[in-house]
Amino acid sequence: MIGVMGAGAFGTALAVSFARSGDVVLYARDAEQVREMRETRTNETRLPGVTLPEALEVTDDLARLGGCAAVLLSVPTQKLRGALEGARHVLAGKPLVACCKGVERDTQASPTRIIAETVPDATPAVLTGPSFAADIARGLPTALTLACADEVAAEGLQELLRAPHLRLYRTGDVTGAELGGALKNVIAIACGAAIGAGLGESARAALMTRGYAEMARMAEALGAEAETLAGLSGFGDLALTCMSEQSRNLRYGLSLGREEAFEAGVTVEGAATARAVQDRARGLGIEMPITDAVVALVAGELRVREAMDMLLARPLKEE
């Protein structure tokens, strides 16, 4: 049996997908949300139009995750530490698969590092790559990266998490997989801001390309493999997130570019991650001008056209 912690759109979508071929427990801490999902067999607020399979159990009883072979953590990165600290007695010793993308603001920790620090005897892993909740829930073809430093555990998880229309590629490069998923959100904000401000598709293409170069620089400095950044968890996720308005980070960038208020209550991982990444890059002596511009935009210190002028005014150099 597979467990999923977090009944947002992505957690629900994963639970629906895996419940088509086996039993799944979906945990949410909001008792009222659980009651509604049980009665309607939908999660209409977070994932409208999707029926929950009979094999999917929705619960607010944390202890139900104790009987699961592995637990997927679909909790925002900035809230992951708190969620795990309150559940370590149930999750101890299990494979825990982070399905969130980002870097913890105050500690610069990745999701798997947060897992290792809060549930030390768990086996940390990460599931990442180009995917939208609606596509996964509808059973549309999706390919993802499953990263785990323990090769035997990775093979077991790859088999356990088999699902129709969901193909998992295994890697031991956890650092690369996590960095790709985190950094692409920052670049997506920049792309959205450019489009929202009317700067055009050529500007988006330039930001994606130079943004990928920033991702690669940081990944190399932290010991990640170039092949990982060129794969699903890096380039693949970057392309999807920067091109589709299903991306919350892109939509947030659009709102910045249009100087409009963003959707209330919607988590934008890239906003908090940008500042954490900037701090880490400065500590490593790495230039990340697009990330710097996003931090300034989010803080209201620059407008989009000012940020673009700043990027265009940088010294000329070879690509």
Assign 289 to helix, strand or coil.
Answer: helix
The CA-CA-CA angle for residues 222, 227, 231, to 5°, reads: 110
What are the DSSP calls for 15-39, one per residue? HHHHHTSS-EEEE-S-HHHHHHHHH
Query: CA angle, corner 166, sides to 162 and 170, nearest 5?
Result: 65
- Token pair belonging to 174: 């956890």
Which one from 94, 101, 184, 317 is the annotated catalytic residue? Answer: 184
The CA distances from residue 13 to 33, 73, 99, 101, in Å, are: 16, 13, 12, 16
Question: What is the number of other CB atoms lying within 10 angstroms of the CB of residue 170?
Answer: 14
**DSSP-H helix ranges across the chain:** 9-19, 31-40, 77-85, 88-91, 111-118, 133-137, 151-160, 174-196, 201-221, 226-229, 237-243, 248-258, 269-284, 289-298, 304-312
Those residues with Cβ within 8 angstroms of residue 148's Cβ, 6 or more apart along the chain or in another chain = 95, 123, 124, 125, 126, 154, 157, 170, 172, 174
CA dist., res. 187 & res. 4, Å (int): 28
Annotated active-site residue 184? The verdict is yes
Cβ(34)–Cβ(59) below 8 Å: yes
Other beta carbons less than 10 A from residue 247's beta carbon: 24
Measured distance CA(304)–CA(290) in Å, rounded = 12
CB 27 within 8 A of CB 59: yes
* 33 alpha-carbon distance from chain centroid: 23
Which residues form the catalytic set?
Answer: 184
